[in-house]
């Protein structure tokens, strides 16, 4: 096995530093006090001391490589499955249906050219199927028909095919080998009869099985890049019942390092993911490709307990500044909605989405591990390959030119005033050089003079992590033409790389301030860049929305407006005015949004569109820019004018940054109604899609679930739904489903995301919704409840209410079951919650004691009366003085909900039987005075169940998405609750019809029951007629590369209806040769011609001209003789004389030392021999001279009237030597 090493940057000199606390970044050095290269000399100053926790060579390399690819491929690819699946007794050939040659070469070549340096392959996922030929199981690719085809003489071994490609293109490899194995009988603890038993009585040891497979792969040189893996992924996921299996991690780790670590002769140990205390690459905490703004490459591990703590904060593992082990924070994500390819999850994310991942992973000190899934033909879809290439090209184009590269860097301090630590080291493009300061200094500042004003939107900063990660605070500022310093970005950690991406600014100087807690800060690189259009900081406007800047000529301002510039504004500009000013904006489209500023100093305005006036209020306690301050009604598609007038409202201003316009011929914009939802485990919920800004024509969107912190077994990963809005339709609903997870995970979330193939359709401001799953282990027991009617209340009172003749807003309004009335605490100071130290309470006395389980709350419309923190108490008796004894049964926080009328729930910690409840507001979420449109109590109730009966015809099944049917095909479902059933045809079949209670609902693949009576679902299936097909993998032929018609795939049954056919390469369409450099007697010339189709350029070198010798006439005459005279037409003797003269002429042409006399003599001799050729007689049946003349044209002649320069050019061209060069 070949051992490869990388350049180690981890050697540094030692010098003891001192620790001091660093405060906020407030210091600013005068430029006259800055130190530059001219003030430095070679003082041979000792380098800073390394930290105790630093990356090893593999970790350092990975964080510098930045991009890695993930390859999920296996049975799930062919079965539309996303999560670990128990395929039961189905054979390998039934679940793994690959027939065509797996195209590893194109896959690996594409990712390599796109900048990915590593590929991690799922050799075995949770289903237990092995994509290599394993001697330890028959549940592998060797047991399929694919192996019999023996492509590349590898016997179907997909892992070997990928390894060969990675070796060819020198792409590092990682091995994903799932410890959880649903299929193998050794997993878990069973006796010899297959009955569950204890660990001590277990017959088959799964740890042996897993270790044997490690040995089998890692010990075989056909696997890995040149036989080597740099990372082993042990996914921590486990399915139900899997907790019984203990893993022998230490044994496995020893096996891995024996083959892939220092023990095997490599420079450092193999990186381990999911290895508890031995982890050297850690999960970032979500599957979105995002790392936290603060991300440390260090965790706290305990080898004695085999535990790791990477400090989970929300959706991220942020690591520790004082961690004791370097753990590369790896951000894994998917280029499609799923990990495995599927017909409903094969749409690649946009370049803008991938840019968001890149800047929030790589730009937050975390390599990006992007999943790129092969399809069920063993190839990556062309659309996905193109997106990978686009993404990689955007990375290259954005960072190819450092605008600071030729600048001058100075600093507040330089270590030892030594040129070895010069500030200009940060501009040299070398990781091994760096700028740092003297021991004891814990902060520093760099100023980079760009030389001239430049426009940029990305600043890159890299810490010299070979010394460790130290910087805990940074600030980037910019200045132009001697102006004031403005903040570009600021934050916490830097690490391997920090990318600051903001709106474009113009500056000629950059200032970077950094600080640590104790040791000296060390920076290795600083870069200033202008991002490509696709990599620019995203606008708040959805893609496809027209953005009109307020500086655009469409805006027409009256007097009184003041213009401002700033990167915080939309397109970097803003205008504001006080009362009396106005503007108009002309636009074409079907809906307009105004973008501006909310501020305590801003106020009201009147907006008029097509004669309709609307008053807006931009007053807010906290300033925020780039906000939508007005949205018009849906308008008829066409030309419109909007007018805004700043009204006289206490002399307050209006700030405007521009407008967003929907202008797509009335097709409109489709979005999710809300940006956030909350669900319980094992539940179903409808979310609404809304279409605004026009509904002309049909519009189709796909709604796809995507993992966040919730893993695939927490929700329905197969719930991708295609929704079609007919013309005029503006609302649709889709069902979202969660599963039961019995582990104590805390609340988790996933997302529902929209995509569309409608070219002009705009996806709304909410094209992605976050769905939080409440951890059932931390929630009160799920109880069926029933709302108490208003007649059940004996009395309701409040400690504050506005109950006057002018304002009837008493507490009874909150219990009248009327959303048009509301309770309001007393107006003025008396009713403000802050003036009630014990809160404002509502007491509800019931006519009789009930088992109360929860309370619901709806605040008044708007956000100015919403209760925040609350407590709920139940009366449990009376004290001696007659006062009520209260017991707290619930507490929490309500959220702002605007005009939404959905009730917020407060579920009690326990069900309590009482006749009196007290609800107390402690803080406000919005406004000063507590309010409520409705408050309601719910009592415990027995659930009413209905029976759902399923009847699937031949060639298909009906199954609930969650849960199981009884043997007779029935299922008990709670009355009125949602329950979704999947209707799945067998391969080659499609759904004919689905009937619910005898009524057809169409040929649907899912049906959601929502009924209070029994339901019967019947499905019939038919041999698929392939009515809905899609061409996949089509590729246009180019001049040099063949194309493909693409295979036609049935969207209903997945079968390939028509195979793809090759389209031959078209060949170049060259124009005429153009001489770009004339040949001379001392220099060669050059001619070019260009392909008009692809721009490919071909060159040929024109030979030097001979010294005064003109061979052109001889050459022309010689060529004509060759083409004219044929031996078959002439006598042997005359031909022998002619042939001798012909050979002598050729010899003269080839001789460089031939004189003009030699050339002329050769012409004469050849001409004489040609004249003396004797034709054969007619008896020979050979063509007569006259016939030959008709066929071949005129007899060759030795003279020509063409100019000597043309003769020279022709001679030179004929003798040209061709070479090709790509333009």
Residues 157 and 305 in one domain: yes
Element (H, E) at 489: strand 486-491
Residues 934 and 1013 in one domain: no
Q: Residue 1188 pLDDT > 50, yes or no?
A: no
Residue 758: strand, helix, or coil: coil
Q: Residue 1189 pLDDT > 60, yes or no?
A: no
Residue of 511, 510, 513, 518 whose CA lies nearest to 494: 513
Band (pLDDT 50/70/90 cuts) for residue 987 is confident
Residues 753 and 800 in one domain: no
Query: What number is the average pLDDT over the span 422-444?
Result: 97
Residues 802 and 889 in one domain: yes
Q: How far is it, in rounded angstroms, from Cα 989 to Cα 1019?
A: 12
Q: Is residue 505 part of a domain?
A: yes
* Confidence (pTM): 0.69
Q: Is residue 927 part of a domain?
A: yes
Domain stops at, among 905, 940, 975 = 940
Band (pLDDT 50/70/90 cuts) for residue 1155 is confident
Write out pLDDT tens, residues 215-258.
Answer: 999 999 999 999 999 999 998 766 544 447 889 999 999 999 99
* Token pair of 949 as six digits: 């009966």
Q: How far is it, in rounded angstroms, from Cα 538 to Cα 999?
A: 48
Which of these ranges, 238-252, 501-515, 949-963, 1117-1131, has the smallest mean pLDDT?
238-252
Note the Cα 753 to chain centre separation in Å: 12
Residues 793 and 755 in one domain: no
Tell me what pLDDT residue 708 has: 84
Q: Is residue 342 part of a domain?
A: yes
Q: How far is it, in rounded angstroms, from Cα 469 to Cα 55?
A: 9
Residues 224 and 192 in one domain: yes
Q: Is residue 149 part of a domain?
A: yes
Q: Residue 468 pLDDT > 60, yes or no?
A: yes
Q: Residue 1220 pLDDT > 70, yes or no?
A: no
Q: Residue 910 pLDDT > 60, yes or no?
A: yes
Band (pLDDT 50/70/90 cuts) for residue 1218 is very low
Q: Residue 1217 pLDDT > 70, yes or no?
A: no
Which of these ranges, 53-62, 90-99, 863-872, 1198-1207, has the smallest mean pLDDT?
1198-1207
CATH value at residue 632? 2.60.120.260
Tell me what pLDDT residue 21 has: 33
Tell me what pLDDT residue 9 has: 36
Query: What number is the average pLDDT over the span 448-452?
Result: 96
Q: How far is it, in rounded angstroms, from Cα 681 to Cα 661?
A: 40
Write out pLDDT tens, residues 139-153.
Answer: 999 999 999 999 999
Tell me what pLDDT residue 1192 has: 42
Write out pLDDT tens, residues 178-222.
Answer: 999 999 999 988 888 888 888 888 889 999 999 999 999 999 999
Query: What number is the average pLDDT over the span 43-69?
Result: 97
Q: Residue 352 pLDDT > 70, yes or no?
A: yes
Residues 272 and 340 in one domain: yes
Residues 655 and 679 in one domain: no
Q: Residue 265 pLDDT > 90, yes or no?
A: yes
Tell me what pLDDT residue 1107 has: 65
Q: Residue 12 pLDDT > 80, yes or no?
A: no
Band (pLDDT 50/70/90 cuts) for residue 1181 is very low
Residues 768 and 859 in one domain: no
Residue of 1005, 1000, 1011, 1019 whose CA lies nearest to 950: 1019
Note the Cα 1071 to chain centre separation in Å: 43
Q: Residue 317 pLDDT > 50, yes or no?
A: yes
Band (pLDDT 50/70/90 cuts) for residue 22 is very low
Q: How far is it, in rounded angstroms, from Cα 657 to Cα 573?
A: 6
CATH value at residue 711? 2.60.40.2030
Q: Is residue 1098 part of a domain?
A: no
Tell me what pLDDT residue 308 has: 96
| Residue, of 639 and 504, whose pLDDT is higher | 639
Tell me what pLDDT residue 1022 has: 94
Tell me what pLDDT residue 206 has: 93
User: Nearest 5°: CA angle at 810, between 809 and 814?
Assistant: 90
Overall domain count for the chain: 8
Q: Residue 888 pLDDT > 70, yes or no?
A: yes
Residues 256 and 353 in one domain: yes
Output the DSSP codes for 518-562: SSPPEEEEEEEE---GGGSPPPSSPTT-EEEETTSTTEEE-TT-E
Domain stops at, among 622, 637, 662 = 662
Q: Is residue 327 part of a domain?
A: no
Write out pLDDT tens, residues 732-789.
Answer: 999 999 999 888 888 888 999 999 988 899 999 999 999 999 988 877 778 899 999 9
Tell me what pLDDT residue 716 has: 93
Residues 452 and 593 in one domain: no
Q: How far is it, in rounded angstroms, from Cα 413 to Cα 36?
A: 9
Yes or no: say if 947 and 966 are a contact pair by the CB < 8 Å rule.
Answer: no
Strands of 882-1014 (E only): list them. Answer: 884-893, 904-921, 924-927, 931-932, 934-940, 945-952, 956-960, 970-974, 979-985, 989-996, 999-1002, 1006-1009
Write out pLDDT tens, residues 617-645.
Answer: 998 877 888 899 999 999 999 999 999 99
| Highest mean pLDDT of the ranges 316-320, 1150-1154, 1193-1197 | 316-320
Yes or no: say if 598 and 624 are a contact pair by the CB < 8 Å rule.
Answer: yes
Tell me what pLDDT residue 1198 has: 66
Tell me what pLDDT residue 1047 has: 87
Q: Is 416 left (phi over 0), alpha (psi -120 to 50) or beta?
A: left
Yes or no: say if 1019 and 958 are a contact pair by the CB < 8 Å rule.
Answer: yes
Band (pLDDT 50/70/90 cuts) for residue 712 is confident
Band (pLDDT 50/70/90 cuts) for residue 17 is very low
β-bridge mates for residue 666, sequence order: none
Owning domain of residue 724: 669-778
Q: How far is it, in rounded angstroms, from Cα 745 to Cα 596?
A: 41
Q: Residue 128 pLDDT > 50, yes or no?
A: yes
CATH value at residue 285? 3.20.20.80
Residues 885 and 974 in one domain: no
Q: Is residue 51 part of a domain?
A: no
Band (pLDDT 50/70/90 cuts) for residue 795 is very high
Q: Residue 108 pLDDT > 80, yes or no?
A: yes
Q: Calculate what percentage of the chain has a pLDDT beyond 90.
A: 72
Band (pLDDT 50/70/90 cuts) for residue 25 is low
Q: Is residue 262 part of a domain?
A: yes
Band (pLDDT 50/70/90 cuts) for residue 1212 is very low
Write out pLDDT tens, residues 268-286.
Answer: 999 999 999 999 999 999 9
Query: What number is the average pLDDT over the span 644-663?
Result: 92
Element (H, E) at 242: none
Which of these ranges, 774-783, 966-975, 1135-1144, has the smallest mean pLDDT?
774-783
Structure-token match 């381990």, residue found: 272
């Amino acid at each position: 096995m070949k051992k490869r090493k990388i350049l180690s940057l981890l050697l540094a000199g030692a010098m003891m530093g001192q620790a001091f606390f660093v405060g906020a970044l407030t210091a600013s050095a005068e430029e006259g006090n800055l130190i530059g290269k001219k003030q430095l000399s070679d003082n041979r100053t000792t380098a800073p001391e390394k930290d105790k926790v630093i990356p090893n060579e593999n970790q350092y390399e990975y964080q510098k490589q930045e991009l890695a690819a993930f390859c999920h491929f296996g049975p799930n690819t062919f079965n539309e499955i996303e999560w670990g699946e128990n395929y039961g007794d189905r054979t390998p050939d039934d679940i793994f249906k690959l027939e065509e040659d797996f195209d590893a070469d194109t896959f690996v070549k594409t990712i390599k050219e796109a900048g990915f340096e590593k590929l991690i392959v799922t050799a075995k996922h949770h289903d237990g199927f092995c994509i290599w030929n394993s001697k330890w199981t028959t549940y592998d690719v060797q047991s399929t028909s694919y192996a019999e085809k023996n492509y590349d003489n590898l016997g179907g071994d997909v892992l070997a095919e990928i390894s060969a490609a990675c070796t060819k293109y020198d792409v590092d490899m990682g091995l994903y080998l799932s410890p959880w194995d649903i299929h193998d009988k050794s997993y878990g603890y069973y006796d010899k009869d297959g009955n569950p038993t204890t660990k001590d009585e277990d017959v088959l040891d799964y740890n042996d099985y897993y270790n044997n497979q490690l040995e089998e792969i890692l010990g075989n040189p056909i696997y890995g890049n040149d036989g080597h893996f740099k990372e082993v992924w042990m996914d921590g996921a486990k399915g139900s019942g899997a907790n019984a299996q203990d893993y022998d991690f230490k044994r496995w780790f020893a096996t891995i390092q024996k083959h892939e670590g220092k023990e095997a002769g490599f420079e450092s140990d193999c990186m381990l993911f999911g290895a508890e205390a031995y982890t050297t690459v850690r999960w970032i905490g979500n599957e979105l490709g995002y790392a936290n703004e603060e991300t440390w490459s260090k965790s706290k591990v305990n080898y004695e307990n085999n535990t790791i703590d990477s400090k989970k904060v929300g959706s991220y593992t942020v690591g520790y500044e004082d961690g004791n082990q370097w753990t590369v924070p790896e951000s894994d994500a998917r280029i499609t909605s799923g990990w495995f390819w599927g017909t409903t999850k094969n749409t690649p994310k946009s370049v803008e989405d991938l840019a968001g991942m890149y800047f929030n992973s790589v730009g937050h000190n975390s390599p990006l591990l992007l999943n790129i899934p092969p399809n069920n033909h063993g190839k990556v879809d062309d659309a996905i390959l193109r997106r990978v290439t686009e993404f990689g090209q955007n990375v290259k184009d954005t960072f190819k030119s450092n605008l600071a590269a030729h600048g001058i860097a100075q600093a507040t301090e330089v270590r030892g005033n030594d040129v070895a630590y010069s500030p200009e080291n940060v501009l040299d493009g070398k990781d091994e050089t760096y700028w740092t300061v003297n021991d004891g200094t814990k902060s520093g500042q760099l100023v980079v003079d760009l030389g001239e004003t430049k426009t940029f939107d990305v600043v890159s900063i890299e810490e010299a992590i070979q010394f460790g990660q130290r910087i805990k605070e940074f600030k980037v500022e910019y200045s132009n033409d001697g102006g004031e310093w403005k903040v570009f970005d600021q934050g916490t950690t830097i690490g391997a790389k920090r990318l600051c991406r903001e709106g474009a600014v113009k500056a000629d100087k950059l200032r970077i301030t950094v600080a640590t807690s104790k040791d000296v800060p060390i920076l290795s690189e600083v870069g200033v860049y202008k991002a490509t259009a696709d990599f620019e900081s995203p606008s708040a406007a959805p893609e496809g929305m027209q953005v009109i800047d307020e500086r655009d000529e469409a805006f027409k301002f009256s007097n009184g407006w003041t213009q401002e510039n700033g990167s915080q504004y939309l397109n970097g500009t803003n205008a504001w005015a006080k009362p009396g000013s106005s503007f108009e904006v002309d636009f074409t489209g079907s809906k307009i949004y105004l973008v501006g500023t909310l501020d305590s100093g801003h106020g009201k305005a009147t907006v008029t569109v097509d004669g309709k006036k609307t008053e807006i209020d931009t007053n807010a306690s906290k300033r925020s820019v780039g906000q939508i301050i007005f949205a018009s009604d849906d308008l008829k598609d066409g030309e419109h004018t909007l007018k805004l007038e700043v009204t006289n409202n206490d002399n307050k201003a209006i700030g405007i940054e521009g407008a967003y316009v929907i202008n797509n011929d009335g097709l409109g914009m489709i979005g999710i109604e809300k940006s956030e939802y909350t669900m319980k485990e094992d539940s179903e919920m409808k979310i609404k899609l809304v279409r605004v800004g026009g509904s002309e024509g049909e519009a189709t969107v796909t709604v796809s679930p995507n993992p966040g912190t919730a893993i695939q077994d927490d929700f329905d990963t197969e719930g991708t739904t295609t929704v079609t809005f007919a013309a005029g339709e503006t609302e649709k609903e889709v069902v979202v489903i969660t599963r039961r997870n019995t582990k104590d995970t805390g609340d988790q979330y996933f997302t529902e995301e929209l995509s569309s193939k409608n070219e002009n359709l705009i996806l709304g401001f909410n094209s992605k919704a976050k769905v939080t799953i409440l951890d059932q282990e931390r929630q009160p027991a799920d109880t069926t409840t029933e709302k108490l009617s208003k007649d059940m209340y004996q009395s309701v009172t409040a400690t504050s209410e506005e109950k006057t003749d002018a304002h009837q807003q008493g507490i009874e309004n909150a219990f009248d079951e009327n959303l048009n009335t509301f309770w309001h605490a007393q107006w003025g100071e008396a009713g403000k919650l802050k003036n009630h130290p014990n809160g404002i309470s509502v007491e509800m006395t019931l006519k009789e004691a009930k088992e109360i389980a929860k309370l619901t709350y709806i605040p008044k419309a708007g956000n100015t009366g919403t209760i925040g923190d609350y407590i709920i108490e139940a009366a449990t008796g009376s004290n001696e003085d007659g006062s009520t004894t209260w017991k707290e049964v619930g507490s929490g926080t309500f959220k702002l909900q605007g005009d939404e009328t959905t009730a917020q729930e407060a579920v009690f910690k326990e069900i309590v039987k009482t006749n009196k409840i007290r609800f107390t507001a402690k803080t406000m979420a919005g406004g000063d005075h507590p309010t409520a449109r409705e408050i309601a109590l719910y009592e415990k109730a027995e659930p009413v169940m209905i029976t759902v009966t399923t009847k699937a015809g031949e060639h298909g099944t009906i199954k609930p998405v969650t849960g199981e049917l009884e043997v007779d095909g029935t299922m008990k479902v709670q009355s009125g609750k949602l329950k979704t059933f999947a209707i799945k045809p067998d391969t080659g079949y499609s759904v004919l019809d689905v009937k619910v209670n005898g009524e057809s609902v169409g040929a649907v693949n899912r049906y959601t029951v929502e009924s209070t009576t029994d339901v019967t679902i019947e499905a019939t299936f038919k041999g698929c007629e392939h009515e809905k097909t899609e061409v996949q993998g089509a590729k246009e032929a180019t001049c040099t590369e063949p194309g493909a018609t693409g295979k036609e795939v049935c969207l209903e049954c997945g079968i390939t209806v028509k195979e793809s056919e090759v389209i031959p390469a078209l060949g170049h369409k060259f124009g005429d040769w153009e001489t770009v450099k004339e040949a001379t007697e001392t220099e060669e010339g050059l001619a070019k011609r260009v392909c008009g189709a692809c721009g490919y350029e071909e060159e040929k070198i024109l030979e030097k001209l001979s010294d005064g010798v003109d061979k052109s006439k001889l050459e022309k005459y010689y060529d004509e003789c060759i083409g004219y005279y044929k031996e078959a037409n002439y006598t042997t003797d005359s031909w022998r004389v002619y042939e001798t003269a012909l050979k002598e002429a050729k010899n003269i042409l080839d001789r460089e030392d031939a004189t003009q006399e030699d050339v002329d003599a050769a012409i004469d001799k050849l001409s004489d021999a040609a004249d003396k050729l004797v034709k054969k007689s007619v008896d020979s049946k050979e063509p007569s001279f006259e016939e030959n003349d008709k066929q071949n044209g005129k007899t060759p002649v030795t003279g020509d009237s063409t100019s000597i320069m043309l003769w020279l050019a022709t001679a030179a061209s004929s003798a040209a030597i061709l070479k090709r060069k790509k333009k």
